């Protein structure tokens, strides 16, 4: 198979926009936002999903030979998002298998990653094109639904003794961790 153009990150996969796919959350990352925003020190959440056909067979990215992984980016807000945007709350609700209320979200914040990693949801995917060139850029998540093939919606298991963080407390903690990491980098 020939190498890809170095400016292209477009995966080489055969997907059908009319089909649904099972996504399994494989990784989750928090970091400084790379998007234009009015919020100082805004954070960006990256959800990395392995993509499978509905029968469970993995979708293979022919350019790498690995299971195709779709990345979904959100800000750190857990408020409900307006369609067609799939935000963190909608993503968590689909992965848990039921609509989550504010209390559910608050109790999950300290263990967000641990609660969601490994869970599955059903997705509608669509091609995303470059606004300037019109070239295919990547695949994006259009809609995320609970995976009804699971036995039952899984309860949100929060370890005992984990204090709940408000969004403001979480932001302050993450900003402090980021500042400490930057200080370590400059000290080297």
The CA distance from 82 to 61, in Å, is 31
Residue 115 has pLDDT above 50, yes or no: yes
Find out whether the peptide bond into 84 is cis, omega within 30 degrees of 0.
Answer: yes
Q: Residue 166 — very low, low, confident or very high, per pLDDT cuts 50/70/90?
A: low
The residue-averaged pLDDT of 143-170 equals: 62
Task: Give the three-state DSSP class for 115.
Answer: helix
Cβ distance 22 to 52 under 8 Å? yes
The residue-averaged pLDDT of 73-102 equals: 83
pLDDT at position 82, please? 74
Q: Residue 124 — very low, low, confident or very high, per pLDDT cuts 50/70/90?
A: very high
Cβ distance 50 to 81 under 8 Å? no
Cβ distance 16 to 22 under 8 Å? no
Round the average pLDDT of the chain to a whole number and report it.
79
What is the per-residue pLDDT across 90-103, written as a single tens digit (0 to 9) for each? 989 999 999 988 88
Tokens of 2: 């020939």
Helix (H) / strand (E) element for 15: namely: none
Higher pLDDT: 65 or 185? It is 65
Least confident of 7-21, 54-68, 97-111: 7-21
- Domain coordinates in residue numbering, the chain: 20-187
Question: Cβ of 86: how many Cβ atoms within 10 Å?
Answer: 20
């Amino acid at each position: 198979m020939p190498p890809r153009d170095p400016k292209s990150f477009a995966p080489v996969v055969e997907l059908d926009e009319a089909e649904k796919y099972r996504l399994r959350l494989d990784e989750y990352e928090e970091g400084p936002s790379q998007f234009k925003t009015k919020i100082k020190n805004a954070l960006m959440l990256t959800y990395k999903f392995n993509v499978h056909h509905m029968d469970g067979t993995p979708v293979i990215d022919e350019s790498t030979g690995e299971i195709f992984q779709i990345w979904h980016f959100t800000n750190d807000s857990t408020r409900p998002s307006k369609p067609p945007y799939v935000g963190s709350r909608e993503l968590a609700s689909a992965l848990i298998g039921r609509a989550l209320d504010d209390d559910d979200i608050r109790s999950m914040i300290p263990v967000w990653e641990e609660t969601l990693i490994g869970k599955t949801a059903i997705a509608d995917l669509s091609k995303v094109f470059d606004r300037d060139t019109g070239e295919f850029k990547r695949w994006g998540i259009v809609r995320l639904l609970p995976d009804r093939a699971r036995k039952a919606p899984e309860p949100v298991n929060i370890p005992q003794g984990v204090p709940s963080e408000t969004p403001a407390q979480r932001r302050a903690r993450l900003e402090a961790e980021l500042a400490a990491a930057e200080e370590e980098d400059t000290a080297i």
